[in-house]
């Protein structure tokens, strides 16, 4: 009996060490994840279009001044870059230099639309804690570089003959509280960003993917999210394990999910914070190719 317990403990310890070692190794790399999307509205496209999704960098640096990451984005030659937040870390005495230097170079590649994650939002809403001007300086410098910030706002553009609305939503910070499940409705979305316009292709930047049913009911054609870091540990066939709110096995954690003519793409993120670990869960640049019908 004692021998069996010792063997079991040794196996558990070995598995734990493997998890830690692999998790640390995966922190050093990112991959390019590719999805294809084809819906009836894309009949108005004359050719395929590439949309890049970047989220949750958290001041991570790949190569000198994120040169590896920039090169990966440039090679894709995207038509649009979407950033649903958390590119910096909203903590005391943490600066934004790494995130700002990276983000400021993206508009030279393609139009960049940026909505706030919970880290940017709490810095914005609590300047006394995080510094009176830090978030404002960060936002202003990126706006000067050409980044389009969408703080419960909308921007319009054309992709060939397809009219596109890009919207960035800021839900109340209470929806990020840990150990709670929060209810968000389509009406809540409308209160933040106004009514849906079904005659246009609507891309919603929404940091937290947990509320996709509400985004979909509001009328988002494509929702792009992050926040969950892929669930930290992923199990093939099951997906991510846990959310920052400590909800187990989230439905949308790091994949493209198509429901009817609507879809959500969730980035597994580019960096980490607090829990500095990944397992079967590489950081990623997400490329979504919009295919004409």
pLDDT tens, 241-258? 877 777 888 899 999 999
234 phi/psi in degrees, rounded to 5: -115, 140
CATH number for the domain running over 2-290 = 3.60.21.10
Give residues with Cβ within 8 angstroms of 142, minimum separation 6. 100, 103, 104, 114, 149
Predicted confidence at residue 244, as pLDDT, reads: 73
Please give the average per-residue pLDDT across 205-211, as a whole number. Answer: 96
**Per-residue pLDDT for 34 more than 60?**
yes
Supply 254's token pair: 């790091």
Predicted confidence at residue 274, as pLDDT, reads: 76
Put the strands of the sheet holding 222-225 in their side by side order.
Answer: 153-159, 162-168, 201-205, 222-225, 262-266, 256-259
> How is the chain split into domains, by residue range?
2-290
- 134-176: per-residue pLDDT in tens? 899 999 999 999 999 999 999 999 999 999 999 999 999 999 9
**Half-sphere exposure (Cβ direction) of 83: Cα atoms closer than 13 Å:** 31
pTM score > 0.75 for this model?
yes
- CA dist., res. 223 & res. 239, Å (int): 19
More confident residue, 96 or 42: 42
- 12-29: per-residue pLDDT in tens? 666 655 556 655 666 688
């Amino acid at each position: 009996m004692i021998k069996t317990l010792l063997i079991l403990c040794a196996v558990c310890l070995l598995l734990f060490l493997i998890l830690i070692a692999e998790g640390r190794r995966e922190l050093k790399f990112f991959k390019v994840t590719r999805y294809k999307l084809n819906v009836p509205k894309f009949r108005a496209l004359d050719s395929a279009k590439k949309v890049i999704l970047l989220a949750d960098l958290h001041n991570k640096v790949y190569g000198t001044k994120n040169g590896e990451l920039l090169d990966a984005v440039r090679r894709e030659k995207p038509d649009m870059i979407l950033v649903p937040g958390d590119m910096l870390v909203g903590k005391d005495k943490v600066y934004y230099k790494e995130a700002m230097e990276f983000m400021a170079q993206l508009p030279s590649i393609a139009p960049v639309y940026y909505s706030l994650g919970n880290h940017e939002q709490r810095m914005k809403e609590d300047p006394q804690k995080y510094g009176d001007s830090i978030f404002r300086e960060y936002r202003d410098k990126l706006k000067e570089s050409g980044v389009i910030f969408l703080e419960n706002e909308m921007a319009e553009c054309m992709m060939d003959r397809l009219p596109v609305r890009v919207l960035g939503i800021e839900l109340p910070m209470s929806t990020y509280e840990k150990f709670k499940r929060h209810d968000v409705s389509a009406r809540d979305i409308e209160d933040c960003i106004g009514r849906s316009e079904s005659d246009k292709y609507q891309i919603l930047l929404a940091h937290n993917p947990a509320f996709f049913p509400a985004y979909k009911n509001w009328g988002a054609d494509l929702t792009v999210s992050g926040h969950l870091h892929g669930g930290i540990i992923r199990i093939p066939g099951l997906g991510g394990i846990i959310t920052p709110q400590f909800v187990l096995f989230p439905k949308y954690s790091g994949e493209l999910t198509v429901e009817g003519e609507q879809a959500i793409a969730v980035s597994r993120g580019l960096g980490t914070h607090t829990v500095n670990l990944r397992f079967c869960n590489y950081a990623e640049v997400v490329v979504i190719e919009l295919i004409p019908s």
